[in-house]
Amino acid sequence: MDFQETRLIGEIRKIDKRETPGGQIAVSLGVLIKERHNIVWIRCTAFGVIAQDIINDAQEGQEIYVEGRLMPGLDGNPKVWEKNGRHLSNYEVRVLNYILGAKSEGTPEKSADSS
């Protein structure tokens, strides 16, 4: 049996809300992970109820813990594209569960399971 799970903790740097062609709510998060001297950017995407909860409760600069599935490109490698003459790549994580860290106003944690 094959199984794959990804867990990460990072800082939300960008929140992009959208609607899929089928009318489902979606949100993509740019999550910054600082690990010693390395900085890693991961795109995290959620749909439906989880997306709506993130839209309602998350803010840029807030810490987030994500559990999800790694979604590579069609060839199994990171997604690769070119923008303004630069070659870029990233992995995407499909959010299955999350916990938000305290907001700057001191709001308590929010888990996708607690709604």
Per-residue pLDDT of the chain (115 residues; tens, 9 = 90+): 677 899 999 999 999 999 999 999 999 999 999 888 888 889 999 999 999 999 999 999 999 999 999 987 778 777 777 888 887 777 799 999 999 997 655 444 444 554 4
In CATH, what is the architecture of 6-114?
Beta Barrel (2.40)
Q: From CA 76, how far away is CA 31, in angstroms rounded?
A: 21
Query: Which are the contacts of 110, defined by CB distance < 8 A and separation ≥ 6?
Result: 53, 57, 99, 100
> Residues 44, 29: contact at Cβ < 8 Å?
yes
For the chain, give percent helix, strand, coil, nearest 5: 10, 55, 30
Listing DSSP states for 60-112 in one string gives TT-EEEEEEEEE--TTSSPEEEEETTEEEEE-EEEEEEEEEPPPTT-PPPEEG
Question: Nearest Cα to 17, choosing from 7, 3, 29?
Answer: 29
pTM score: 0.77
